[in-house]
Amino acid sequence: MTVDVVKPRALPYAEGVRISSSRARDGSRLAPDRLSIQRLSCNLIVGLNPCEREDKQLVYFDVDISAFHEPGSGFNLRRLAKDIRQEVESSEFISLESLACLTARVTLRHAVKHDNIVTVRAAKAKALVFADAAEVEIVRTPQDYLAASGVGPSVHASPSTNLDPPIFSFSLDFLAQGVASDLHSSYESPVQERRHFAAIALGSNLGDRFANIEAALRLLERPKDFSPLQEPGTSLRLTVVNTSFLYETAPMYVTNQFSFLNCACVIKTTIAPLTLLAILKEIERTVGRVPSIRNGPRAIDLDILFYDDALIDTRPESLKGGLEGLEGHLVVPHPRISEREFVLRPLYDMVPDYVHPVFHKPIREMLSDVLRASPFGSPAMIKVMPFPAYPRSADRPPPVTSVPDVPRTHTHWMFPPTRSAVPYRQISIPWRTRLMATLNVTPDSFSDGADHVALSAALAYATSSARAGAHIVDVGGYSTRPGAAHVSPEDEIARVVPVIKGIRAIGSGTSDAGDVLVSVDTFRPDVARAAVFAGANCINDVHAFTGPDYPLTTSSSAAAAYFSGMRGTARELAVPVVLMHSRGDAGANKDYSRYDSVVDGVIQELGEKVEAIVRGPGGVRRWLVMIDPGIGFSKSVDDNLKLLRNSASITTDARTVDGRRNSLRGYPQLIGASRKSFLGGILSQQDESGTYDGRQTTPKERGWATAAAVASAVQQGAAVVRVHDALEMGDVVRVANSIWG
């Protein structure tokens, strides 16, 4: 029997509520109960056009819950309707989809069980001339919000704000398990506590600028260290949930000083704005900021850019609305945002669609306005990636003793803007592709197995590669060749650590390997940690933190463990990471028919992993991530050629996949095509004219073929190319840089 009960006018602002229940004769449930709120009316601001943001308009919501609550559990539809109206009517989203997502999120806070399903239909009345409404429908479960935004239904979500990261459909269900422990450790506060989103700008141009910014971020997540600032009856909880890229920027206003590093972060916090400002000032003093002239040099500078969508100005009434009297007061949004590229660009990396609550423009539009107004030849912002110095120097203490392990900086790389990315102004800085030399200390590598197993041979290769111009040496102790033998973590450590220590012991100098950067090619947290402590500066993971399992499912407990371990290790050690697209065994899983192209497949699959690695509690800093499309891994010969031919499009802003903005936009890219089997496949094919019958080649006979692939990667704007022959390929890179730089 199915019983359907509808009560019209049960709620003040809805047409009615409905409950549907199905039972068998023995009382067992045949299907989940369905609870509904019908046509809940809300008066709010929504829309992109300026005219839509002048006045509130009616939006109607139908909310259906597939619920597993037992009879008498007291599910309160009246309270739910009140909470939905309160949340959505205080929002100012651009899209109806965002409103529907927010409504689903609020509903799932009430329907807290993991197997509940919520369907939300949002209708924007009178939006279309020849229809009653513009309408969208979405379906959400608690897992969608755990995986996508780091907010689980068991904790009280923030008030609505378009700083909240957008919801996207996540196929990596196991990540919800890995993130769950982070959520509970970060948000153990009572359910009734209200959380807010805020954007904070960070800048530094004195001392070890990179270490200063990392130290400030680590202090920011330790607000309880500033307990004297805590007000009675309040809590100090704060988590960094997103970071921008890091930029080197010419000084503004006072120009006779060193260049700045600039970035921004989005935080989630229970801390009130004035208390948050006081904490930021304490962090500045702790890191080492001293009084200086306005806009002058400083070890660290922290500013609140946005706090939800609030308008705050603590200045006297006579000064409000201007740019005077800012010292010692809090003005949010920051009054100079609209003129500062070094603030807008980091915000653009994280929240390009956030609408400024005063100017009512999205960040992307404000950035475009600034660039259009800039005179030709103005100094450009350049992305930078720092490489920390390991092993840690015993006689050099960390910059800030109250936070754990902030390594000093060994060097940094600069990346001019991606050529096809917009918006970017014309700049004169040449593009420079760097060289990564591959050092396999394995007996069964596909290309150079056993060549460098002996420590003396490995060190000789590292030295010769550095002298040939290699910028970084990639040391690997586990072959990714299909069918390669399993290697235990202990054996992998025993292979790579002596080599890394040997490279570091050679001695410093510009003509040998002493100062060359070292990366460790591993997907295991224990190996990565041991290698970094031995002297590696970077982690290169062919499985992008999820291990070799494929496909990834909810039962992939090993993948979740790899994800949690690698993400935590990279965050703690503050080292750059190279995240590669792969699908388990390199020779398998080559079907991309569900996508329009293999390029879309890489963007979608690797993009989801990168988003999970960068965003949410415990995320890796965005400026420490480099992506690798995985040439030769689970791709056909034609797929590899498409990736090489179109690799620049993998990281451009303009590209969208399935209607979603490209999650890999803006990241520097590594291309590794050296000696791979797809090159041998091309060389073995008969020429169309029939004059060339093709030939079989060993990996070491594919040098000229590798040169063609390397030249293509440089032409496409690769930040790094990974090669085996540093001397020969170094020549290719230098000439190609000169042609296309």
The CATH number covering residue 292 comes to 3.30.70.560
- The per-residue DSSP string of 438-462 comes to EEE--SS-TTTTTTT-SHHHHHHHH
Q: What is the mean pLDDT of residues 244-256?
A: 80
Q: Is it the case that residue 242 has pLDDT exceeding 50?
A: yes
Cβ-based neighbour number of residue 166 at 10 Å: 15
Q: What is the DSSP letter of 23?
A: B
Q: What is the pLDDT of residue 688?
A: 78
**Both 477 and 338 in a single domain?**
no
Average pLDDT score over residue span 250-257: 67
Question: 383 and 438: one domain?
Answer: no
Nearest in space to 557 (alpha carbons), one of 183, 181, 178: 178
> pLDDT at position 151, please?
32
Q: What is the CATH number of the domain that holds 456?
A: 3.20.20.20
| 637, amino acid identity | V
What 3-state DSSP class applies to 739?
Answer: helix
Instruction: Look up residue 516 and give its two tokens.
Output: 């060359």
Rounded-to-integer distance, Cα 493 and Cα 475, Å = 11
pLDDT band of 481, cuts 50, 70, 90: confident
- Specify whether 380 is located in the same domain as 232: yes
Distance CA 140, CA 121 (A): 12
Mean pLDDT over 568-590 rounds to 95
Terminal C-alpha separation, the chain: 73
Q: pLDDT digit string (tens) for 484-519?
A: 778 999 999 999 999 999 999 886 544 456 689 999
Q: For position 257, what pLDDT does the model report?
A: 67
Instruction: Note whether 201 and 349 are same-domain residues.
Output: yes
- Tell me, yes or no, whether 85 and 211 share the same domain: no
Share of the chain above pLDDT 90, in %: 50
What's the burial of 144, exposed, middle or buried (CB within 10 Å: 0-12/13-18/19+)? buried
402 lies in a domain? no
Query: 10 near 17, Cβ under 8 Å?
Result: yes
pLDDT value for 402: 63
Rounded to the nearest 10°, the torsion over CA 189, 191, 192, 193 is: 30
> Are residues 563 and 452 both part of a single domain?
yes
> Residues with Cβ < 8 Å from 107, sequence gap 6 or more?
63, 65, 80, 84, 118, 120
Rounded to an integer, what distance in angstroms lies between the CA atom of residue 17 and that of residue 82?
13
What pLDDT sits at residue 145? 57
Domain end point (choices 160, 177, 211): 160
Is 108 within the bounds of a domain?
A: yes
Least confident of 41-45, 151-155, 663-667, 718-722: 151-155
CATH of the domain at 7: 3.30.1130.10
Provide the token pair at 470. 């290699």
Evaluate whether residue 407 is within a structural domain.
Answer: no
CB within 8 Å of 126: residues ≥ 6 apart: 57, 58, 133
Mean pLDDT score of the chain: 83
Prediction pTM value: 0.76
Same domain? 92 vs 229? no
CA-nearest of 687, 685, 600 to 639 is 600
pLDDT 10s digits, 290-328: 655 565 578 899 999 999 989 998 888 878 777 776 777
Strands 331-332 and 260-269: unpaired
Pairing relationship of beta strands 196-204 and 133-140 according to DSSP bridges:
unpaired
Write the burial class of residue 717 (CB in 10 Å: 0-12 exposed, 13-18 middle, 19+ buried).
buried
Query: pLDDT class for 379, splitting at 50, 70, 90?
Result: low
Structure tokens at 617: 């509690």
Residue 608 included in any domain? yes
Is 721 found in the same domain as 587?
Answer: yes
Stretch among 221-230, 624-633, 696-705 having the lowest mean pLDDT: 221-230
User: Which among 160, 183, 217 is the end of a domain?
Assistant: 160
Neighbour-count burial of 389, counting CB atoms closer than 10 A to its CB (0-12 exposed, 13-18 middle, 19+ buried): middle
Structure tokens at 473: 């040496």
pLDDT of residue 67: 72
DSSP state letter for 570: H
Q: Beta partners for 51?
A: none
Instruction: Compute CA distances 445 → 217, 233, 450, 462, 477, whole Å.
Output: 40, 61, 7, 17, 9
**Domain end position, chosen among 108, 142, 160:** 160
427 — pLDDT class (breaks 50, 70, 90): low
Report CA-CA distances (Å) from 294 to 168, 253, 285, 587, 598. 42, 9, 16, 59, 51
> What are the beta bridge partners of residue 121?
62, 137
Write out pLDDT tens, residues 162-219. 565 433 333 444 444 334 333 333 333 334 467 899 999 999 988 999 999 999 999 9
Q: Which two tokens stand for residue 72?
A: 């008498």
Q: How far is CA 659 from CA 90, 169, 520, 656, 663, in A?
A: 27, 12, 36, 6, 12
Does 260 fall in a domain? yes
357 and 464 share a domain?
A: no
Query: What pLDDT is attached to residue 424?
Result: 47
Residue 480: which domain range? 416-422+430-740
571 vs 327: CA distance, rounded Å:
34
* Between residues 407 and 250, the one the model is more confident about: 407
490 found inside a domain: yes
For the ranges 49-63, 266-280, 401-415, 439-453, the lowest mean pLDDT is seen at 439-453
How large is the average pLDDT for residues 3-27? Answer: 87
d(CA 272, CA 635): 51
Please tell me whether residues 136 and 209 are part of one structural domain.
no
Angle between the N-to-C axes of helices 142-149 and 96-110, in degrees from 0 to 180, rounded to the nearest 10: 120
Residue 396 domain-assigned?
no
For residue 134, what is the enclosing H or E element? strand 133-140
pLDDT at 48: 74
Regarding whether 465 and 588 lie in a shared domain, the answer is yes
Residues 517 and 473 sit within 8 Å (Cβ to Cβ): yes
Structural domain tally of the chain? 3
How confident is the model over 539-549, as a mean pLDDT?
A: 95
SS3 state of residue 78: helix
Question: Cβ atoms within 10 A of the Cβ of 628, count?
Answer: 26
The helix/strand count (H/E) of the chain reads as 17, 25
Q: Are residues 375 and 510 in the same domain?
A: no
Q: How far is the CA of 708 from the CAs of 231, 491, 675, 689, 731, in angstroms?
A: 64, 36, 11, 21, 12
Q: Is the separation of the CB atoms in 517 and 439 below 8 Å?
A: no
Distance CA 717, CA 91 (A): 40
Distance in angstroms (rounded) separating the CA atoms of residues 64 and 349: 35
d(CA 512, CA 504): 11
